[in-house]
Amino acid sequence: MIIPSLDFIQGKIVRLYQGNYTCKTYYDIDIFKQIDKYIHNGATHIHLVDLDGCSNPLYRQKNILSIISRYKNIYFQVGGGIRTQNDIEDLFHAGADKIVIGTSAILHPNQFKKWLFKYGGDKLILAVDIKINNKDEKKIAIHGWKTVTNMDIEDIVNSFIPWGLKNILCTDISRDGTFLGPNVILYKYLKKKFPNIILQSSGGICSVADICLLKKNRIEHVIVGRALLEKKFTFSEAQRCWQKE
The set of catalytic residues is 7, 129
Alpha carbon distances (Å) from 149 to 19, 153, 157, 160: 15, 10, 15, 18
CA dihedral 237, 229, 127, 142 (to 10 degrees): 150
Asked whether the beta carbons of 4 and 224 are under 8 A apart, the reply is: yes
Report the alpha-carbon angle 129-133-134, nearest 5: 160
Write the single-letter amino acid at 59.
Y
User: What is the distance between the alpha carbons of residues 92 and 235, in angstroms, rounded to a whole number?
Assistant: 26
